[in-house]
Structures are given as C-alpha cells and as structure tokens.
Amino acid sequence: MINKERLEHRIEALAQIGKTKDGGVTRIALTEEYRQGLDLISEWMQEAGMEVKLDQAGNLIARKEGTVPGLKAVALGSHVDSVGNGGKYDGTVGVIAGIEVAQHIKEEGIPNKRPIEVIAFCEEEGSRFQSGGVFGSRAMTGNLTEEDLNVIDSNGDSRYEVLRNFGLNPDNMAKAIRSGGDEFELYLEMHVEQGPILIRENVPVGIVTAITGLSLTEVTFEGGESNHVGAIPMDLRYDALLGASETALAVEEIVNKYGGNAVGTAATMDVEPSQVNIIPGKVSTVIDIRDTDLDRREAILHELKKRVKEISERRKLKNEITSKLKANPAKSATHILETMKHKSKELGLKTYEMPSGGGHDAQLMAEITDMAMIFVRSENGSHNPKEFASAEDIKLGDRFIS
C-alpha cells in the first residue's frame, strides 16, 4: 500500500530546507538550499532502489530498470524548487509521490516490466532568472536557446555561470536532451491544484484534460526625458506609466471579450526613475496571457499589440514589444485519460475533469511523449506559506498514478 505517513514525513522533511519565518519555503533553483533538497531527494530515490544521476541542466533523474529489456520507460515527476516564501506542496508532492510509487513496488516485490523514472526538474518556477521557468524540462526536450543561458539573476550572475558554479557543464547542455519517442512510453505528473475548483466540487482528485498555453510579453513605454511633476503642465506630459497602466486595463478588457479559458495579467510594472517628484519616463510591464486554445491566445496577443500601438500614438510615447516566452497548450493523451477514468471507478474514487491554468513541466514533456496530469485538492491557493493539501488526498492521488 502507498504509505501515507511516509509521504507526509518526507513533505515535512523537505520543507525544513529553505524554511522561512512565515512557515513557507524559499528554495530557489541552483542555490545551496536547492542542492540540499536534491541531496535529500537523492537519498529517498536510492532507498526506493533507483539509480540516480544529475544531468547538465540540473535535473535529478532516478531510474529503476524493468524486467523486459528494450521497453520504453514510464516517467513520473515534477519539481522541488520554489518561489520566494512559497508553499511546501507545490511541485514537491509530484516528486515525492513518484518516489513512493517506486518504493511501493520495491517493498511489495512487484515486478515492473517497463523502466520507471522519477524526475525532479530544475527551475520550474523561474524565480531566479525571471525567464518564464520550466528550464529543466525545456532542456530535456531540446527547447533551449543561447539567450536562456545568458539571462542574469538579481546578483548579476548569468545562468551559464550559475550552472558552472553548481558543478555542471552548460557547454554540454545537449546531453540533457532525451529522445522522447525512443525513451519514454508516457509521462505522468501529480500536482496540487493551486486553485479552488476541487474544493468547490468536493472532490479530492482532478483529472487534467489540458494544460494552458503560457505567453509572457514585455511591453516597454518611453516618454522621453523625465521631468518635474510640478513644473510640467498636464497637456505637455509624456507619462510612460499612464501608457503602461492603460495597457494593463486593456489586457482585462480584451481577455474578457474573448472568454473561454483565457486569462490575462499585467504581472509586473517596473517604473523608472520611480521617484515621487519625477514623471515616469520609462515603464516596462510583463503581460501574462494564457489559454488552452492556441488560436484564441494568439488572437488576444495580436489585438493587444494593436492596442499598445494606439495607446503609444495617442499619448506620444515610444513602445517596444518583446516576446519573452511562449509555450504551446498541451492536451493530455486520450488513452491515458481513459485509463484514469477506469482507475477512478476501480478505486471507487470521485474525480473531476478540468484544464490546468498553470504551466507545468508536463507541458514540455508532451512534445516528446504521451502526457497526463492529475491534481490533488489543495487550499489557500499557492505560492504562499498557507498552501495546504491533506496527506489523505495526496495518498489518494498517489494511488491513482501507482
């Protein structure tokens, strides 16, 4: 049987690494806390009878060979990096649950025909380099660019330098690429929902039908020379912040018009020179548009670009629009969904079918193999110390994928 007490103990033990005064977790990718987390996860993987390695992208990979040579592997996984002062369940439950499946198989003496892999992907959150995240899975699926290695963190260190300091060789990043169809039969990821739907439906487990397509677009407005707030009349101002603010409101308007599963957020606002007595001369905002329908997302982005141009011309501002990250929506494999529905009946488990509004490593893995996800009911949202999922619900989710 899946061991609920062991699941709970390991979640709590990992949460001590990077624990904050608020009871949250700060375990940013490729930091010392992250290394300590990988060391602990490695011990548990080895205890489950798996061979463990770290690839050049910082992905921790454990493998238990199958009894039939030549069969492709079933992979389970998620991530163990966090946002700053985040929760202890986001990502970690998927990795720990995957280890528990492997350990259950070992302890019960169950022969697994196919190899089983458990993967802790590196930097899913994107908290360190603010480059959209899912770095490890992008590396594994061959979706990295030179720019991904040149981005810098808040200390001014490039990801290339940080990887080298972590003991990796980013010049050999190609070695992290997996051939997908030749190596994986399928990929499964268990994750806390991070939202209120399963609570509303009073259901412990959600079957994810599709993962939203994330896009991050930076819009920068410049108004020329910043000037004194008291000396410049209103009709002679070129206020970059007003342009950015109007854009933020336009995001809400446009996304609501298109409807469906689309959501949009003006996620950041960087104001220069950001002083109380100076009219903002340059403002950058990162716009996050997500949708499970790729055509609709692209239509929203197209209309937003037209609106930015109109705002710039009307306010006599310069603008620059830069696409920072795009990930295609990913649908769960039909045959896995059917198996999950059958499994829920077998277990007598009530489930709820739903899309994922958040991006996940599973989204990238869908490019190279069949993919599916399940959600576990969680409370208090996510990316905060109050994030919570019960051990009983996590156990139910783990039984579901075992």
- pLDDT category of residue 216 using cuts at 50, 70 and 90: very high
Supply the pTM of this predicted model: 0.88
Q: At what angle do helices 334-347 and 391-401 cross, to 10 degrees?
A: 120
Q: List domains and CATH numbers for the chain.
A: 4-212+329-401 (3.40.630.10), 215-326 (3.30.70.360)
Q: Are 361 and 190 in contact (CB under 8 A)?
A: no
The pLDDT tens digits for 306-362 are 999 999 999 999 999 999 888 889 999 999 999 999 989 998 999 999 999 988 999
Residue 381 has pLDDT above 80, yes or no: yes
Across 178-182, 271-275, 281-285, least confident range: 178-182
